[in-house]
Amino acid sequence: MEKKLSRIEAVTLVAGSGIGTGILALPAAVSRIGLFGAIAAYAAAFLLAAALSLMIVFLKKRSFHRGDLTGVLEEHLFFGKAAPVLRAVFFILLSVILLENLAAYILAAADVVTELFFLPAPVSKLIFFALSLPVTFFGMKGVGVGEKISVAVIAAVVLLLSVCSFFHVKSGFHYVFGSFTGASALYGLFLFAFSAIFAVTEVCDHIEKPEDAGKAVIGGLVLNALLTALFCVAAILSSDPVTPVAVLGMVRDLPLPGVGIMASFFVLFSMLSSFWCSAAAAADMLSARFRMGRKTAWCAVSVPALLAALFLPLSLIGFLQVGSGALFIILLLTVLPAFLHAVFRSSPALGKKRRVLAAAAACPVFLGVIYGAVSSFFPLS
């Protein structure tokens, strides 16, 4: 029987799933927007991400199906004559999103490894892929232990870089709101960075005490948000200009020994933590649908991601904006309707008053996801 996740492993799993490409690309995006617009986007994205994550926890607790998100949605949304078609369409779309996420993690890690160690980009991508393999052979408990170590390393490096940046300030913030379009685009990127829907399903299924799932999810989101904010401040203060992959600018502008090594550890563990979580979620999804072994399923999702990172001509920001837009559309069409179905048909014990309140609370979430999907296509200016 597979070992369960401790609460701290569950918290770091949620945090690590978001501390990936988003944290690297966000400082450059934030530097183009006024400080007050960035704060508004950050706060709105965090609140919406927390609400969506708790909705998924609610769905999982009221589902007989123990498994991936597609199984939960089959129970609360995909029924009737159209169920097979809906199930197949959702599975394909979710697979594409996971593939895009995994490719983005490989691409971001390779950009930094190539820059710091002067290696060819394809070699950097292959090195990262090889480093991601060992943890997956130990199941979800192995991923949880890996996430705990990874997030600890990330937090230590972020704190060190932050302290260094305050003593070597080269730039600063614009104390204005900035353009509404730019703040909206930044909201979409923050929401993508905070989204942890795949980690939430894994936590609900694998945590030692299922009643702790909601607390672990919120704890992970808070940890992600704190590290993201701290890193953004450090990168903007110490870099002029902020580079698209923020740590490269910090390495260039911070006149300190060992900063390149710190940056490489930060990027490597950030990408590994996100890659492990997304690959585990995708492997569980494939295992449930096609009855294949976990290791085989992991290869089936990770190898195509490697090929996409090697051959598709998208930039890191391009991957992020395409992925965020697609993810929001999926959430809009599936998770929110499934939540409402669970509230009104699967949870009579809630009582009429609570069901109405839950439905009312879902309305701003619904609008926030729509806006996130639209804002993903706005230019950052």
Q: Residue type at 11?
A: V
Q: From CA 171, how far away is CA 248, in angstroms rounded? A: 15
- List alpha helices for 62-194, DSSP H: 69-76, 83-117, 121-136, 139-167, 180-194
List, for the chain, all residue ranges whose pLDDT scores fall below the cut of 50: none
Q: Is residue 363 part of a domain?
A: yes
Q: What pLDDT was estimated at residue 161?
A: 87
Q: What pLDDT was estimated at residue 219?
A: 95
Return the CATH number at 186.
Answer: 1.20.1740.10
CB 319 within 8 A of CB 20: no
Q: What pLDDT was estimated at residue 1?
A: 58
Q: Is residue 380 part of a domain?
A: no
Q: Is residue 381 part of a domain?
A: no
In DSSP notation, 125-143 reads: HHHHHHHHHHHHTTHHHHH
Q: Is residue 228 part of a domain?
A: yes
Q: What pLDDT was estimated at residue 339?
A: 83
Domain count within the chain: 1
Residue 113 token pair: 């490894």
Q: What pLDDT was estimated at residue 318?
A: 55
Q: Residue type at 252?
A: R
Q: Is residue 331 part of a domain?
A: yes
* Host domain of residue 189: 7-375
Residue by residue, what is the 3-state secondary structure of 140-154? Answer: HHHHHHHHHHHHHHH
Q: Is residue 125 part of a domain?
A: yes
Preceding omega of 379 cis (within 30 degrees of 0): no
Q: At what angle do helices 139-167 and 213-238 cross, to 10 degrees?
A: 30
CB 104 within 8 A of CB 308: no
Q: Is residue 343 part of a domain?
A: yes
Q: Is residue 1 part of a domain?
A: no
Q: What pLDDT was estimated at residue 319?
A: 56
Q: What pLDDT was estimated at residue 298?
A: 81
